[in-house]
Chain A
Amino acid sequence: MSSTSPSTSETAGAPTPETGTARVKRGMAEQLKGGVIMDVVTPEQAKIAEDAGAVAVMALERVPADIRKDGGVARMSDPDMIEGIINAVSIPVMAKSRIGHFVEAQVLQALGVDYIDESEVLTPADEVNHSDKWAFTTPFVCGATNLGEALRRIAEGAAMIRSKGEAGTGNVVEAVRHLRQIRGDIARLRGLDNNELYAAAKELRAPYELVKEVAELGRLPVVLFSAGGVATPADAALMRQLGAEGVFVGSGIFKSGDPAKRAAAIVKATTFYDDPKVIADVSRGLGEAMVGINCDTLTDSERFAGRGW
């Protein structure tokens, strides 16, 4: 089906085993749908996440809230720390590279991570170019604030997209804004005729073939998750009702009062996102949520979502 057929020239059903195809990269993300991917900084946290029902963990040195607090340059994590997490759990392990830092991505691939997040949460290494993601066997997920940005990432080889939100704030407002923007952009494409799609591609600064595919499908050709500010079960369910196929939770879990309980609650609310009784039930007695930051108090340089283009 179209969601798994690449827009590049990879062959399907090859006679000999073939790794790194668009179908296995995008197909991996299809297996994560309906799930929660949790930021973890130690093997112990990774086990808590796995026990709570996470579909994958994101191994990083500091959660976004601490990156925000500490300042300085945020880079790829220590390989020892990533390996420690890989060895601690059986679920997939993701890790972040800086935008455009294809050598960090090469290292992550060599370490055997299951997905690379070319992430605006880390300090960008290139202010013009993102990494060429087709060059890797390991699939990539990238952030986007609108459809054009999502399609540029897919054109570069991203096999999964997450709306960016504003990581490390515990404030879901930007995640809502970006997901609504992507969905609204897709809905507008649906209303265009074939003549208009060429101009739309130009406006979106995205390849025409991808724009046409989205107009036909009514969704991205890859899995779309939401990220950046999810802190409660209701936040996760909100993002799913708005059209996200799953959620990333960063600081929201391990910066809260009872991480194990909150993690399990967010997992349940993500599956039963359309059942307020379940969401109410799992939201009881979770202890303190992370404090959070009001995004309108952030300066432009404090906004991660503006990184990447």
Chain B
Amino acid sequence: MTTPDIGGATGGGADVTVGVLALQGDVREHLAALTAAGAEARPVRRPEELAEADGLVIPGGESTTISKLATAFGLLEPLRERVRSGMPAYGSCAGMIMLADKILDPRAGQETIGGIDMIVRRNAFGRQNESFEAAVEVAGVEGGPVEGVFIRAPWVESTGAEVEELAVVDGRAVAVRQGRLLATAFHPELTGDHRVHRLFVDMVRASVM
């Protein structure tokens, strides 16, 4: 370990179950980060697995692939239903796209779960050669900036009145929250810093109390 484990579990058994949508993407890293943040973390590929989760992470990956698989395996409507009925959800990168009500430049037939009143632009920061790391101040995350890893990352083009912008890079919103929904354009799961996951696990805890 070359990066410190900041904001890890403070002890005690896991009191909430958080699923990670495991159709495609960096699922393992999210499972590890959620476990470190004190949750019981489980992969979710089927509606019955979704039903057992108190909250859900939508990982980084290819948003077109995740969207197509969610549609093909009958997960899209159950996902929308859970989000509508108040299940906390957190999406990083492709997950942010999946939680957006609208994509600026969708591929044909690319569906999102929606829930956050925002328009996102895919690959907004450029191709892989433009992928970058930068320190990012995130409102609600104490203890200094988080290590932002941006990989072919989207940004938030515009938001509705209910959406709180938590972080900005180059004048663009890269972390947002609307009620029980959280999204980041970057990948905290690729760092040893679990504060964003801890923030989300706290949101899940608050929702089941």
Contacts and interface: CB of A to CB of B under 8 A. Distances in A.
Contact of B191 (A4, A34, A35, A52): A4
B38 interface: no
B81 interface: no
A5 B3 contact: yes
Contacts, number: 153
A53 B2 contact: no
Say whether chain A's binding surface is mostly helix, strand, loop, or mixed: loop
Most chain A C-beta atoms within 10 Å of own C-beta, residue among B3, B25, B62, B192: B62
B65 A54 contact: yes
Interface residues of A, number: 48
A88 B27 CA distance: 28
A181 interface: no
A19 B105 contact: no
Most chain A C-beta atoms within 10 Å of own C-beta, residue among B61, B109, B147: B61
Interface residues of B, number: 50
Contacts of A109: 129
A50 interface: yes
A194 interface: no
A30 B3 contact: no
B128 A28 contact: yes
A24 B132 contact: yes
A294 interface: no
Interface stretch (A10-18, A67-75, A121-129, A300-308): A10-18
B163 interface: no
Given A23-B149, A268-B69, A55 B128 contact: no
Nearest to B134: A17
Contacts of B72: 53, 264, 268
B206 interface: no
B209 to A, nearest CB: 31
B132 A34 contact: no
A21 interface: yes
A139 B132 CA distance: 13
Nearest to A21: B133
Given A24-B132, A112-B127, 5 more contacts: A4-B191, A5-B3, A24-B131, A28-B128, A34-B22
14 contacts: A1-B3, A2-B2, A12-B2, A14-B134, A17-B132, A19-B129, A24-B133, A24-B149, A27-B151, A33-B61, A35-B62, A53-B68, A56-B62, A271-B45
